[in-house]
A and B are shown apart, each in its own frame.
Chain A
């Protein structure tokens, strides 16, 4: 989770926790608020979402379906 603490960043974080909880996957959600670190992912707008080092979205709040499909496929990739 990349963001400076704006309202949308908090909403994205809450949504991600919700989806992770529903899918019952063991996931660690980390919030990055340092701009140097945020910029190392090359995004131009916050909130950004990074799953296993890969930028998934920036500048918007993805919907639940998108989130859960990203998380599920990331989990499948990990297990493979």
Chain B
């Protein structure tokens, strides 16, 4: 029996490998031909002058939209394969009985790789807390999972390069770990809605599904279709607005408002960002264009983190299981962390 499954799995991989290789080559070809193709369309087909405002805006748009979509498809696929090895059930088992500290680090890390959708935040929260995962550790997970998502990372990588993307992941993890740890230290269990601890969880839900490589590829491909299908209009609109700023807004326009010298810009950016609920895909291209016009990296990162990690809809969902005091602490601790990251980038690390 066991032998049969192994051969079946190997066969699956053997038929998959050539197809994946072809897809990979096509992807590489498209990606490497892109700059030439975008230039050709902009300057030859449309006959725009490279130095003109319109030419620079259109060239930027025609190059960046396909580039970001290609990167997005690749990374979402890769992340989908990784995520097919993780389930919320498995993550909960890994976190159960872990002490704070180690638990916070593990939870933040697992937050990146466990499949998560903010609409599942409440069942996940209840399931974790009920099964004995400490409150702070649960928060580390709930902060990292939406903040460090593949769409944000791809856009940062595509528009700012790998250093900024890596800094975002690193500081995002640091915020999730410390904020969760602080919330745990504060002993806020009494501010969880009363019914939560009286709840009796059903046990023995789903058996772990055994996945073949075929299933994993199908799962990852489904993720690509779902995410790219949902996100592409935001990418197009965001890059169009970014392209307009790129072509038409004068240099240093943003320096006074979002530049390094304006110390108040980081907290303001965070305060403005919390109620905003925008897709990373729409916000990052605009933010990149603003940076070109003199906005500081720290301010821009703080704004993005606030938009992505803290959002009004999520707070409203969490309000059903948390009392407002705990929500306020959650917003306060994470918001402070984001502000510190903003200053760190503006003043300490001049990238």
> Could you tell me which A residues sit within 8 Å of B by CB distance?
3-4, 6-9, 35-36, 38-46, 55, 57-59
B-side contacts of A3, CB under 8 Å: 119
B102 CB, nearest partner CB in chain A, Å: 21
Q: Please, how many angstroms separate the alpha-carbon atoms of A68 and B206 in the complex?
A: 18
Any A CB within 8 A of the CB of B124: yes
Given contacts A36-B195, A39-B127, A40-B200, contact A55 B119 (CB under 8 A): no
Q: Please, how many angstroms separate the alpha-carbon atoms of A44 and B195 in the complex?
A: 17
Given contacts A35-B321, A42-B127, contact A4 B119 (CB under 8 A): yes
B residues 168-214 touching A (CB-CB < 8 Å): 195, 199-206
Q: Please, how many angstroms separate the alpha-carbon atoms of A35 and B115 in the complex?
A: 20
> Does A40 contact B88, Cβ atoms closer than 8 Å?
no
Of the candidates A39, A45, A57, the one whose C-beta lies within 8 Å of that of B202 is A39
Given contacts A8-B119, A46-B120, A59-B115, contact A39 B203 (CB under 8 A): no
B-side contacts of A4, CB under 8 Å: 119, 122, 317
Report the tally of A-B residue pairs with Cβ distances under 8 A: 72
B205 CB, nearest partner CB in chain A, Å: 4
> Does B117 contact A8, Cβ atoms closer than 8 Å?
yes
> Does A36 contact B199, Cβ atoms closer than 8 Å?
yes
A65 CB, nearest partner CB in chain B, Å: 12
Interface residues as binary, B254-294 with A (CB distance below 8 Å gives 1, 0 otherwise): 00000000000000000000000000000000000000000
A-side contacts of B204, CB under 8 Å: 42
16 contacts between A and B (CB under 8 A): A4-B119, A8-B117, A36-B195, A39-B123, A39-B126, A39-B130, A43-B205, A43-B206, A44-B92, A44-B124, A44-B127, A44-B128, A45-B88, A45-B120, A58-B205, A59-B115
Any A CB within 8 A of the CB of B252: no
> Does A40 contact B122, Cβ atoms closer than 8 Å?
no
Interface residues as binary, B97-131 with A (CB distance below 8 Å gives 1, 0 otherwise): 00000000000000000011101101110111010
> Does B120 contact A59, Cβ atoms closer than 8 Å?
yes
> Does A38 contact B123, Cβ atoms closer than 8 Å?
yes
Of the candidates B126, B202, B203, the one whose C-beta lies within 8 Å of that of A35 is B126
Not counting A35-B320, A44-B92, A46-B123, a sample of 11 additional A-B residue pairs whose C-beta atoms are within 8 angstroms of each other reads A4-B317, A8-B119, A42-B202, A42-B204, A43-B127, A43-B206, A45-B120, A55-B202, A58-B205, A59-B115, A59-B117
